[in-house]
Structure 1
Amino acid sequence: MSLGALRPSPLVEQATTHLREQITSGEWSVGTKLPGETALAKSLGVGRSTVREALRALAGAGLVQARQGSGVFVIANRPKEDWSTQLRQAAITDVYEVRMLVEVEAAQLAARRRTDEDIAALRAALDTRRTAGRAGDAAFVEADIALHEAVVAAAHNPVLTGLFTEFIPILKQRLLDLVELLNLRSDDPHHGEEGHTALVTAVTEGDAEAAGNALRNELRQTLALLHSL
């Protein structure tokens, strides 16, 4: 079966697309052994190195798997979803449960590792959140998340920082929806002020237990609200 020769511009991407289509269309079903690199290269009109890179991309997408001494086999007919896609599709309550695990640990680490620069950033973020209490819901949510970002940053763990960064887009939209839906700021424009002040105080004073408790309590309250919807 000929797959059709490819045009000379990004060949790896084109090869990957062509091979992926053979899998997702069902032409190569799950369990099928793919033709060898030489055969694929000839069908696609590219070099073996291009085919090899395309197969790596397909393996990264969870579609194929190389089995030593046996060849490359189709193991799925749909690419696995990346982390960002999973977050966008997840229930917000599930996101919050994971957020609690991540941020509580981050707050405790921040209390142990914070620097003078971190303390200044936390206090500034808290002041900004207070000021945003006089603004609209979008600005308030933005300031709220920025304070949480400052806490995570003070933990000085790039993996935690990267993980929390992935949460931010979904958190902004869902928090804004929550604030507007429940009209949370009608009676208290600075909703959550006490808890956030306690969090910043605990981190700046180096009290890891208090920092973790303050953040855990705040997120539990929000999670309870989400479950009530």
Structure 2
Amino acid sequence: MPLVTTTRTGLVEQVIAQMRQLVASGEWPIGQRIPPEAELVQALGVGRNTVREAVRALAHAGLLEVRQGDGTFVRATSEISGAVGKLCTTELRQVLEVRRALEVESARLAATARTDTDVAELEVALRERDAAIGERDPERVAHTDSSFHLRLVQASHNPVLIQLYQGISEAVLSSVATTFDPTVPPERTVSHTELFEAVRDGNPERAAAEAGGFLDELLADVEGLPETDTSARET
């Protein structure tokens, strides 16, 4: 989606609207750095102050994040998810608690709302996750596992849940990277096969139980509580 030159009325509002659409459409995906100020000025045909004001407004709304010396990055796809992202702290336990709340209900809904396309895409995401675990590649595991969980949430077809989850996407990615232990053999790493099968088979209660189970293990591990198998860590 190319940027287009604005008219001279409501310049800031027009720039904000264009940037918001680029984010919402995925043209500027979460985590990506947006074009530098000079490039935006040229593409939009407006002054630097207009671009800065638009960026400032979207950063205040939580859609963008300005990192001094590094650029401006997309952090959420909507004001709702942006607000959630701001509230989500870097403490692992709190991130896992939020994940549990969202993922359990998403799995429950996905088991009844998923389409054939959802099932097919979830199966692909699961294979990619399992392949990454087999290779013991921490970075790839973090990305493929996070992608599987996001695809599961999307299968709920609840736009509010999806926006909320997208708002904590960076925190989810970080939590996976932190809890994945590459020294644990692949066969002892928590599997998501039963979670996938519960969603595929349309069993909401089983799907919710599977989604909550591995997160309960992680929370028990983080909090130092006893669990049935501390060597089985989620990814």
TM-score by length of 2: 0.57
Pairwise mapping of residues 1-229 of structure 1 onto structure 2 (< 5 A)?
82-87=83-88, 89-133=89-133, 134-179=135-180, 184-189=181-186, 192-194=189-191, 196-228=192-224
1:90 Cα deviation from its structure 2 partner: 4.7
SS at match of 2:142: helix
SS at match of 1:223: helix
Q: Is the 8 A contact 2:137 2:182 kept in 1?
A: no
> Alpha carbon RMSD of aligned pairs, Å?
2.7
1:201-228: CA deviations, max 9, x gaps? 0000000011000011011011112223
Q: 1:191 to 1:143 in 2, by over 3 A?
A: farther
SS at match of 1:187: coil
SS at match of 1:132: helix
2:46 alignment counterpart: none
1:70 alignment counterpart: none
Q: Is the 8 A contact 2:146 2:176 kept in 1?
A: no
Structure 2: runs of 5 or more not aligned = 1-9, 14-56, 62-81, 226-235
Structure 2: distance between partners of 1:138 and 1:191: 19
Structure 1: runs of 5 or more not aligned = 1-8, 13-56, 62-80
Structure 2: distance between partners of 1:187 and 1:149: 24
1:178 Cα deviation from its structure 2 partner: 2.8
TM-score by length of 1: 0.59
Instruction: Percent identity, please.
Output: 31
SS at match of 2:186: coil
Q: 1:228 to 1:116 in 2, by over 3 A?
A: same
1:83 Cα deviation from its structure 2 partner: 3.2
Q: Is the 8 A contact 2:99 2:172 kept in 1?
A: no
SS at match of 2:202: coil
Structure 1: distance between partners of 2:207 and 2:163: 21
Residue 140 of structure 2 aligns with an amino acid whose one-letter code is A
Structure 1: distance between partners of 2:110 and 2:83: 29
1:135 Cα deviation from its structure 2 partner: 4.4
Structure 2: distance between partners of 1:192 and 1:158: 31
Residue 104 of structure 1 aligns with an amino acid whose one-letter code is V
Q: Is the 8 A contact 1:192 1:218 kept in 2?
A: no
1:136-161: CA deviations, max 9, x gaps? 10101111111111110110011111
Q: Is the 8 A contact 2:142 2:177 kept in 1?
A: yes
Q: Is the 8 A contact 2:143 2:173 kept in 1?
A: yes
Q: 1:202 to 1:11 in 2, by over 3 A?
A: closer
Structure 2: distance between partners of 1:201 and 1:209: 12
Tell me the number of residue pairs that the alignment of Structure 1 and Structure 2 aligns: 150
Structure 2: distance between partners of 1:10 and 1:146: 37
